[in-house]
Amino acid sequence: MNVRRIGFSLLSFALAGFASCQEAKEEKPAAPAAPAATAAAGPRVSLETSLGKIVIELNKEKAPLSTANFLKYVDEKFYDGTLFHRVIGTFMIQGGGFELVDGKGTQKKPNPPIKNEAKNGQKNLRGTVAMARTNAPHSATSQFFISVVDNPGLNPGGFSPDGYAVFGKVVEGMEVVDKIKTVSTGQKALMARLPNGQLMEQPMKDVPQDDVVVKTARRVKK
């Protein structure tokens, strides 16, 4: 079953030296340091869920492929009506792949998989958004997860040597994520896609007993 399982740097200091001048009677004060450049904010996407709104900021500089992939699904309205189909309250919430068909969670047919960008220096921390995938490193398609705790085991060299690619972070609505992580879960039959694309009913663990739905996913206009 093709369920997408999700199985400091050192600071360097520059020492500024002052040139000595024998004829100078007083030292000239050092010029003030230029302010550090602030990284430009990336594109944002608002997920309107059945439990509230979550706003995600994407990191197109560190994860250009994953960002473009996610935005393509957003622009296609692929995520509208999808479920958070896997919730582990001490780990993460996962969505982006299943929709309700005749009242049952059914896996949608996604676009082709993308290259894994996990080795981009971004860590799987609380509030980050990353691509879900199978055990194959370059198998991520539409599914994503939001970490509800720091998850160092998902970084390259952790549970998988290839890691899980972080491409964004929650900037609004973390309280909604925390609400989702507390929903009652258990085993539930979902319609999952086999490698050949055929749908088959299979029991899955950690499925919310009451559906948590992404009503809409839209870019946030600035």
Give 74-103 pLDDT, tens digit per residue.
999 999 999 999 999 999 999 999 999 999
Q: How many residues are there in the chain?
A: 222
What letter represents residue 72's amino acid?
Answer: K
Domain boundaries, given as residue ranges, for the chain: 44-219
H-run or E-run covering 108 = none
Whole-angstrom distance, CA of residue 68 vs CA of residue 89: 29
Residue 21: predicted pLDDT: 32
Q: What is the DSSP letter of 158?
A: S
CB 190 within 8 A of CB 207: yes
Other Cβ atoms less than 10 A from the Cβ of 68: the count is 14
Other Cβ atoms less than 10 A from the Cβ of 59: the count is 22
Residue 193: predicted pLDDT: 94
Other Cβ atoms less than 10 A from the Cβ of 85: the count is 27
Give the 3-state secondary structure of 14-63: CCCCCCCCCCCCCCCCCCCCCCCCCCCCCCEEEEEECCEEEEEEECCCCC
**Residue whose C-alpha is closest to residue 170's, from 119, 124, 110:** 124
Give 89-145 pLDDT, tens digit per residue.
999 999 999 999 999 999 999 999 999 999 999 999 999 999 999 999 999 999 999
Is pLDDT larger for residue 67 or for residue 16? 67
What letter represents residue 40's amino acid?
Answer: A
Give 152-195 pLDDT, tens digit per residue.
999 999 999 999 999 999 999 999 999 999 999 999 999 999 98
CB 94 within 8 A of CB 147: no
Categorize the per-residue pLDDT at 221 as very low, low, confident or very high, splitting at 50, 70 and 90. Answer: confident
**Looking at the domain that runs over 44-219, which CATH code has it been given?**
2.40.100.10
pLDDT above 50: residue 34: no
